[in-house]
Chains A and B, each alone.
Chain A
Amino acid sequence: MTLSISNLSAGYSGHTVLEDINVPIMEGGTFIGLIGPNASGKSTLFKTLAGLIKPMSGSVKINDEDITNLKRKDRSRRVAYMPQAFGCNALLTVFESVLLALKQTSGWRVKSDNLDRVSDTLNALGLSHLASRGIADLSGGQAQMVAVAQTLVRAPEVILLDEPTSALDLHHQLSIMTSIQTEVGRRKPVVMAALHDLNLAAKFCDRLVLLRDGKVLADGLPADILSLPVIGETYRVETDLEKTHRGALYVDARLRA
């Protein structure tokens, strides 16, 4: 399984957000961090990859198959996208909300194996204690983890997560990222996650793609990307990449004088 983006331009009604994006071959079983400042085009890229926005030019390919040629049903079975916003007042339990995500592509009747998939997913993300809680009563962080569960339960080939950790505390940031990493190793999907925390990205991702103003500025191994001067320029800060005594990468950032 591979995902690749070539010469992709996309945007909204005449206004171009992404310009000539190239991200060559992303292999299954890779955890890719999409980094870049606010309004750099991360969400637009995700929507285009998920097929919600038609590319103006260029292409997105899953195994040499252009996603615009896939039928909607087929595409949503293979590509799962978690939008940034989550939160609603529907009277549904956490279990039901994850089940409904699965049921979009798995027939009308609820089968026993559907229920297994839902409980396994909730379990893997450490959400089983919330299963019969109403989604309207969740905290922001809990809701975000449920949204991740809605994406993972469908067992897609490509998983796109728009800021999966933005509302989480330190413990849950680490636990959700670990669960995603486990999923990457187990089922070998391509996972692309937009992340603002560069240290978190360095710790978990196999590859980083840096986006600014709708263009890819850098693409490569975390250690290589985070040491580039372009990181400091992009975020308008001074940065140094250090290694902690445990061997983890650490981005030390300061505001420019």
Chain B
Amino acid sequence: MTTDVDPAEMRQAYSKQITRRYIMIAIVTLILLISFFVDVATGPGKYPLSTVFDVFTDPMSHGVRLKVIVWDYRLPIAVTAVLVGALLAVAGAQMQTILNNPLAEPFTLGVSAAASFGASLAIVLGFSVIPGVGPFLVTVNAFVFALLTCGFILFATRLKGVGSETMILFGIAIFFTFNALLALMQYMASEDQIARIVFWMMGSLSRASWGKISLGTLLLCIAIPFSLYRTWPMTALRMGEETAESMGVDVGRLRIEMLICVSLLAATAVSFVGTVGFIGLVGPHIARLLVGEDQRFFVPLSALVGALVLSLTSLISKSITPGIIYPIGIITALIGVPVFVSIILSTRRERLS
């Protein structure tokens, strides 16, 4: 029954698997680049891809009008889609690992709901948690509330007897609490304010700006090396807390470090674009199906898949009805969920082959 496998053969099988993973990352990167360029080339003004590419390489090649359309309007949106997708997916991937729960992501843990409440507080009462932020009032409020919620989750994981199921229950409790508070805000709001709140909650990429993009990029440039440095302990954590601990991983400290990192990512992403559920879930899930859970590949690929999904969403949001850009939160849910479910159902058999 036991057939012996030559050690050299075993090594070769592993090396092959690693090569396959690099190829997978390369393929997804390529698709992401294509999606990004098509996203930039798509819009109400129908310019050929070559023209857009010209403006991309030399801003003034086709006049000021095109420079403004491409550089000030389309590019920030396309870049934000990629960036926020990556931020949300990395946040989701790490939350799932540290909380040992495949359902964990900024949306299910109530971070998005908290951000929405923060935003509505700014819209309705003009109340700022950090004074003197001026035009960034809504974004800053959303960020602070998202961060506070992550802090609460962090605190909750330190409590005795809080397992991974309890964490999701905490998330649901946070979700409902902030939804109730949000409803209260809406009740107090004027019609105009309600419209702004609803628009914020639906999630939109139109709030993109180069300032936000640089901040998000900076965070991602810190977060990815930070995670990669902890890749072996994080992979060990997937074997269970006790096993990881027995291998010498300081599980408590690892959790705190990662959760702080992830909180910043999630809060930033959510405060930039509003409520976009599902990216934090779909990115890591697809990545896991493609490369397994060796975190060296899992984290970067989660980021790429998240970026790709949100980039495609951005593309779809302007392609359905010409001239209208639908909120991305609606698109991710309506189109993404069925696609996601079919992916899970069709691949759950041959996961690691």
A residues adjacent to B (C-beta < 8 A): 50, 52, 72-73, 75-77, 80-83, 85-88, 90-93, 95-97, 99-101, 103-105, 108, 115-116, 118-120, 122-123, 126, 128-129, 131-134, 147, 150
Closest to A76 in B: B248
Q: Which one of B240, B246, B293 contacts A91 once the chains associate, using CB atoms below 8 Å?
A: B293
Among candidates A50, A75, A108, A129, residue contacting B2 with C-beta atoms closer than 8 Å: A129
Do residues A103 and B248 form an inter-chain contact, with CB atoms below 8 A? no
Please report the C-alpha to C-alpha distance between residue A128 and residue B11 in the assembled complex, in whole angstroms: 11
28 contacts between A and B (CB under 8 A): A83-B242, A85-B240, A88-B240, A91-B289, A91-B292, A91-B293, A91-B352, A92-B235, A92-B239, A92-B292, A93-B14, A95-B14, A96-B235, A96-B294, A99-B14, A100-B236, A100-B239, A116-B7, A116-B11, A123-B4, A123-B7, A126-B2, A128-B7, A129-B2, A131-B5, A132-B10, A132-B14, A134-B351
Closest to B233 in A: A104
The distance in angstroms between the C-alpha atoms of A162 and B248, with both chains bound, is 16
Using known A-B contacts A91-B292, A92-B235, A101-B236, determine if residue A122 contacts B10 with beta carbons closer than 8 Å: yes
A118 proximity list for chain B (CB < 8 A): 10
B229 at the interface (CB under 8 A from A): yes
Of A73, A75, A80, A97, which contacts B239 at CB under 8 A?
A: A97
Instruction: Report the Cα distance A150→B294, complex, angstroms.
Output: 16
Q: In the complex, A116 Cα to B242 Cα: how many Å?
A: 27
Inside 8 A of B294's CB, which chain A residues have their CB? 92, 96, 100
Most chain A CB neighbours (cut-off 10 Å) among B5, B236, B245, B248: B248
Q: A83-B243, A132-B10, A150-B243 are in contact. List 17 more A-B contacts (CB 8 A).
A: A80-B247, A82-B246, A90-B239, A91-B293, A93-B14, A95-B10, A95-B14, A96-B235, A100-B235, A103-B235, A104-B236, A105-B248, A115-B11, A115-B15, A119-B10, A129-B2, A131-B13
**Quick one: given A72-B250, A91-B293, A91-B351, are A108 and B236 in contact (CB under 8 Å)?**
no
User: How extensive is the interface on chain B, given as a class?
Assistant: 35 or more
**Nearest CB on A from B17, distance (A):** 7
B contact residues around A120 at 8 Å (CB): 7
In the complex, the answer to whether B238 meets A104 with C-beta atoms within 8 Å is no
Q: What residues on A are CB-neighbors of B352 within 8 Å?
A: 91, 93, 132-134
Number of A-B contacts (CB under 8 A): 116
Q: Are A72 and B248 in contact (CB under 8 A)?
A: yes
Across the two chains, which residue of chain B brings its CB closest to A46?
A: B246
Q: Are B248 and A132 in touch, CB under 8 angstroms? A: no
Q: How far is the CB of A33 from chain B (nearest CB, A)?
A: 20
- A-B pairs with lowest CB-CB distance, top 8: A76-B248, A119-B7, A90-B238, A128-B5, A134-B352, A91-B292, A119-B10, A103-B232
The answer to whether B13 and A92 touch across the interface, beta carbons within 8 angstroms, is no
B288 CB-CB contact with A under 8 Å = yes
Whether B249 sits at the interface, judged by CB under 8 Å, is yes
Is the C-beta of B3 less than 8 angstroms from some C-beta in chain A? Answer: yes
Give CA–CA (A8, B5) in the complex, Å: 45
Question: Which of chain A's residues have a CB closer than 8 A to the CB of B245?
Answer: 52
